[in-house]
A and B are shown apart, each in its own frame.
Chain A
Amino acid sequence: MICEIKYNMKILTEHIDVQGIETIDVFRKHGGYAAVEKALKKMTPDEVTEEVKKSGIRGRGGAGFPMGMKWSFLAKPEGVPRYLVCNADESEPGTFKDHYLMMKSPHTLIEGMIVSSYALGANTSYIYIRGELMYVATILEKAIQEARDKGFLGKNILGSGYDLDLHVQLGGGAYICGEETALLESLEGKRGNPRNKPPFPAVKGGLWQCPTVVNNVESIATTAWIVNNGGDEYAKIGIGRSTGTKLISASGHIRKPGVYEIPLGITVEDFIYADEWCGGIRDGHKLKAVVAGGSSVPILPAELILKTTNGENRLMTYESLSDGGFATGTMLGSGGFVVMDETTCIVHNTLTFGRFYHHESCGQCSPCREGTGWMDKVLYRIEHGQGRQEDIDLLVDVAKKIEGNTICPLGDAAAWPVAAAIRHFRDEFEWHINHNLKIC
């Protein structure tokens, strides 16, 4: 292996394969709910928030915004309820880590929900889960009932005087609801149209216009460990501003697809080739390209995903993956790590992503609604042998006109993968056009 890992520890998945971990008794045998006892009996809400700030953890949904800072924006006017909403609307292509965590170990999330809600002063919290995962919603509801029966939810939890109700809300199948204000609209029983910001949810633009924090499943689940071990201890894992561990969803042409919890800071090369993670490219094939952080981040060819243009090993950190900007870098994003070998047709893969964003655009902003439609159509005709030479620059032009011109980041998310595929694999688009047929 190339790098020495400082802390090869698992925070969220240490006991995930233990038989019966989805039940509260087994979960508690492995240290579960200790964080609730500690936080509610020995710490003030502000002390919990302080530890989360010290941990340096950045939002694990994709944007990477510091979680403690997000919490500190929460307005606390007297007599107005505050809410914590867990974003379990995991829909970014390539990403399935939250699905895995909730399905296998629902109490990991619930414990985190309790300590996070306590820190924020929320007495009612919601887990908004994508509707397709209704079987996982059932698992969560069962676990919530167990937690309630044991006195970890409900009135006067563990005699602390703190009350919390926790509910699971099903979505209806819409990627856009992973955007926090669209999620709140959906939770209010409306179409998932993102809201203009400001006002920000944490101030007064939240759930039913009340101050609201929306955090990803993995971020919230991690707070229990931070309460138990302290923010400083968490910050020792990782490198620089990329602290802690990250769940990476690994898919595509690798020997061992699955979800891996890695300490931030291992090399991309180790992650792809080492046996404890992806285990290398499937037999007889070689690496062609990687989408490192979910479908919206720029695709990189093998040589750029393994090393930066300075010749340094690329690391699994926010900073290293984005080294070189979009010209030669990408983003950690949600950790949806899609690996492609030399058999992959980049044009076809880009078409599936273009089609995805066209389908998922809420239609509110014209650049996104129209632009994603045009990109989908143009990609389709290139893929099907009807492309024109000027189509490549047309795609780049449309992508540029969407980027930065929409209410929410879906527009950027739609533009980046198309622009990056052309940036790094222009020859494949040209080949399709010149030969008037599909490569694959």
Chain B
Amino acid sequence: MTNTQTIQFPADTLEKVHEIIKRYPEGKQKSALLPVLHLAQAEWKWCSPEVMDYVASLLNIKPIEVYEVASFYTMFHLEPVGDHVIEYCRTGPCCLMGGVEVYDYLKTKLGIDTGETTTDGKFTIKEVECLAACGWGPVFQIREKYYMNLTTQKVDEIIEELSK
């Protein structure tokens, strides 16, 4: 087993975890798994095996129960990622609004393809399915923020802002 000693949420996040567990009946703390994985990813950027083992220990469930869940849901990164993970929507309505051109421009600008991270570790690009913002496409998401009605010019501005 990996060493989980070095991985520990800060006190306020731990408190939040305990608050979340209280939302469910006693003994159903496994329900907190997805919310806690989100907290873990916010803390450590990606869900390494060590992080997942730590989450398992917090919820008193087996590590495999965390692995099988983290690998099912696309939002959890199972590989290291850059500081800013750009997740662009590749589904029909965004493509109708010129998404393919905008995303190609983004990839060329950053010099990476989907699934890759820039050498300076700043940006990772991922392609995702519909983000429920079809009328405001093309769309990508960076953490909790949505960037909508994208154009190549907007991409320039966003990347410049995030590169500072």
Contact = CB atoms under 8 A, between A and B. Distances in A.
Interface string B124-136: 0000111111111
A348 B95 contact: yes
Interface residues of B, number: 43
Most chain B CB atoms below 10 A, which of A91, A93, A124? A93
Majority secondary structure of chain A interface residues (helix, strand, loop or mixed)? mixed
Contacts of B35: 169-170
B9 interface: no
B32 to A, nearest CB: 7
Given A356-B129, A359-B129, A135 B146 contact: yes
Interface string B112-152: 00000000000000001111111111000100111000000
B96 A253 contact: yes
Interface in A94-111: 94-96, 98-99
Interface string A209-221: 0000000000000
B19 to A, nearest CB: 10
A5 B76 CA distance: 47
B76 A172 contact: yes
A191 B69 contact: yes
A255 to B, nearest CB: 12
Contact of A356 (B37, B68, B91): B91
A359 B134 CA distance: 18
B92 A352 contact: yes
Interface residues of A, number: 59
Contact of B34 (A170, A352, A355): A170
A167 B92 contact: no
B33 A251 contact: no
A131 B38 CA distance: 9
Contacts of B73: 131, 171-174, 192
A132 B90 CA distance: 15
Contact of A257 (B28, B65, B128, B135): B135
B154 interface: no
A257 B87 CA distance: 22
Interface in A183-224: 186-192, 208
Shortest beta-carbon contacts, A-B, top 6: A172-B73, A189-B33, A173-B75, A257-B135, A189-B30, A251-B134
